[in-house]
Amino acid sequence: MSSFCAKVFPTEPQAPSVKSAIPGPKSKDTVTDIEKHFEAKAAYFVGDYSKSIGNYIVDADGNTLLDLYMQIASIPLGYNNPAIIEAAGSKEMINALVNRPATGNFPSADFDSQIQRLVKYAPHGFPYVWTALSGSDANEWAFKTAFLWQADQDRNYAAFTKEEESSSMINSVPGCPVRSILSFRQSFHGRTFGALSTTRSKPIHKLDIPAFDWPTAPFPALTYPLEEHQKENDEEEQRCLKELEETIIAWKTKSPVAAVVVEPVQSEGGDNHASPKFFQGIRDITKKHRVLFIVDEVQTGVGATGHFWAHEAWNLTSPPDMMTFSKKAQTAGFFYGNPELWPRQPYRNFNTWIGDPAHIIIAGKIFEYVSENNLTASVQRVGKYIKEGLLKFQEAGHISRLRGVGTFIAFDLPTPEARDQFTAGARALGVNIGGCGVRSVRLRPCLLFEEKHADIFLDVVSKLFSK
């Protein structure tokens, strides 16, 4: 099979090359230097990105690692992809960086073209976009949009009352209403105060930070292999949907749910999947109760699941109301279909920059590249190959709950300690890989990861389990 990746990256290494412990002495020294001015307790190693290429990350000590983590799932087309280098060095980019506009007041003459490059690849039914700076930021915009829309529905677009205006200034009802966003247990939606109030993956993210009193519903805990547990998994999903609807009803008097937000695959929370039927259930329940449905594709978006947007695989009877994106888009924001979601007055959803044209230019190039090179098809093919390769380790009892769509694949080790040993062991053998949940390993290669890379990864897995 001819390698698209080899054409794009003719100088990509053939294999990892590990010369030192990871982190090595130069990585450690650099982190020590960084920590004189910046907090870096979570640093694994220091990246030498000018030398990294394609699927391989080079670190400060000259170690070359096959990267299946790709900056926490955020580099879509490999390191130093020539198409992105070209976009980054363009005149349009320099203009965007040097003259960063206050887009809401003085949009750039280039802006219409820039956002068209995004909406061209939006999911079906989403002609509108709102741009943001991070996944958290995108989710907060979507939540705010939901709250504004719900209130406008309630007042039938009447003018604000004096009482609403004055009470809003003291953060009090009726101007600042008691309303909520419902998220699922184990979910991760970001770290700013609104987004963090919906994040439910781990205490370390939430401890000591005030949060809104917002509801949750259970996310299905499927039993694997799926084909052997169809009935019980279906019952599990129905149980979760029942509790979702009961919670929406119960909170109507306490703190009405403005929107339900869900990840197509709960990522930080452990790579938890559900069936299209489950998501259709959310769509039906939210419609029934005039609750908006937000799909958080911050981690799943832009190809890695084998679809451009993961939720496109659900074939819903009607699209979600909003879909947020970030990470592999290298910019952030949300797509939406109904222009009525936008308030009728200016300055309700507004800030100085509203996104970043520099990164929008990169995103437009990424979206075009993924589409024109049909990368979702190769992701499906390679994902199947990886799963088949991992199956034998599952059959041998080394791993469990092998799961995934496209190359968005995960499996479990017996314990959290075994998982941490696995990821550290893989790094020592030249494969950079991430964990999630309690004892899961998650694969997040870029979209140019191919069978030859999978072979190297599978060989390392084999070595780790034959020790």
Of 180 and 233, nearer to a second copy (C-beta) is 180
Structure tokens at 424: 């550290």
Residues 178-237 that bind a second copy (CB under 8 A): 178-180, 185, 190-195, 197, 200, 203-214, 216
Cα atoms in the 13 Å half-sphere on the side-chain side of 138: 30
- Based on the shown chain and the rule CB under 8 A, indicate whether residue 158 belongs to the binding site for a second copy: no
Residue at 120: amino acid letter: K
Q: Kind and range of the H or E element at 453?
A: helix 451-465
- Based on the shown chain and the rule CB under 8 A, indicate whether residue 85 belongs to the binding site for a second copy: yes
> Which residue among 54, 123, 177, 435 contacts a second copy (CB under 8 A)?
177
Residue at 74: amino acid letter: S
Residues 399-458 that bind a second copy (CB under 8 A): none
Residue 43's nearest CA partner among 35, 55, 54, 51 is 35
Task: Count residues near a second copy (CB under 8 A).
Answer: 127
> Which residue among 22, 93, 222, 460 contacts a second copy (CB under 8 A)?
93
Q: In what order do the strands lie in the sheet containing 431-432?
A: 56-58, 64-67, 431-432
Residues 337-396 that bind a second copy (CB under 8 A): 342, 345-353, 356, 358-359, 362
Cis peptide before 23 (omega within 30 of 0): yes
Separation of CA 248 from chain center:
25
Contact (CB, 8 A) for 138 and 132 = yes
64-67 vs 431-432, strand pairing mode: parallel
Annotate each residue in 110-149 with x if it binds a second copy (CB under 8 A) or - if it does not, as one string. xxx--xx--x-------xxxxx-xxxxx--x--xx--xx-
Of 230 and 350, nearer to a second copy (C-beta) is 350
Stretch that binds a second copy, among 169-177, 274-282, 309-317, 412-420 (CB under 8 A): 169-177
Catalytic residue list? 188, 296, 327, 352
Q: Specify whether the backbone of 80 is left (phi greater than 0), alpha (psi in -120 to 50) or beta.
A: left
Q: Tell me the closest approach of the beta carbon of residue 330 to a second copy, in angstroms.
A: 6
What is d(CA 42, CA 439) in angstroms, rounded to the nearest whole number? Answer: 18
User: At 66, is the secondary structure helix, strand, or coil?
Assistant: strand
Of 40 and 377, nearer to a second copy (C-beta) is 40
Stretch that binds a second copy, among 100-108, 242-250, 284-292, 305-313 (CB under 8 A): 100-108
Q: Count other C-beta atoms under 10 Å from residue 36's C-beta.
A: 6
Contact (CB, 8 A) for 16 and 64 = yes
Contact (CB, 8 A) for 270 and 437 = yes
> Which residue among 15, 25, 40, 424 contacts a second copy (CB under 8 A)?
40
- Based on the shown chain and the rule CB under 8 A, indicate whether residue 84 belongs to the binding site for a second copy: yes
Q: Tell me the closest approach of the beta carbon of residue 254 to a second copy, in angstroms.
A: 13
> What's the Rg (C-alpha) of the chain?
23
> Which residue among 8, 18, 48, 427 contacts a second copy (CB under 8 A)?
48
> Which residue among 25, 157, 165, 377 contacts a second copy (CB under 8 A)?
165
Residues 276-335 that bind a second copy (CB under 8 A): 326-327, 330
Q: Tell me the closest approach of the beta carbon of residue 335 to a second copy, in angstroms.
A: 10
Of 119 and 377, nearer to a second copy (C-beta) is 119
- Based on the shown chain and the rule CB under 8 A, indicate whether residue 31 belongs to the binding site for a second copy: yes
Of 176 and 221, nearer to a second copy (C-beta) is 176
Q: Tell me the closest approach of the beta carbon of residue 205 to a second copy, in angstroms.
A: 7
Of 147 and 278, nearer to a second copy (C-beta) is 147
- Based on the shown chain and the rule CB under 8 A, indicate whether residue 19 belongs to the binding site for a second copy: no
> Which residue among 15, 34, 226, 377 contacts a second copy (CB under 8 A)?
34
Q: Tell me the closest approach of the beta carbon of residue 81 to a second copy, in angstroms.
A: 7
Structure tokens at 404: 């995934």
Of 276 and 416, nearer to a second copy (C-beta) is 416
Of 127 and 276, nearer to a second copy (C-beta) is 127
Burial of 299 (0-12, 13-18, 19+ CB in 10 A): buried
What is d(CA 227, CA 7) in angstroms, rounded to the nearest whole number? Answer: 38
Residue at 448: amino acid letter: L
Q: Tell me the closest approach of the beta carbon of residue 94 to a second copy, in angstroms.
A: 5
Strand partners, 443: 409
User: At 286, is the secondary structure helix, strand, or coil?
Assistant: helix
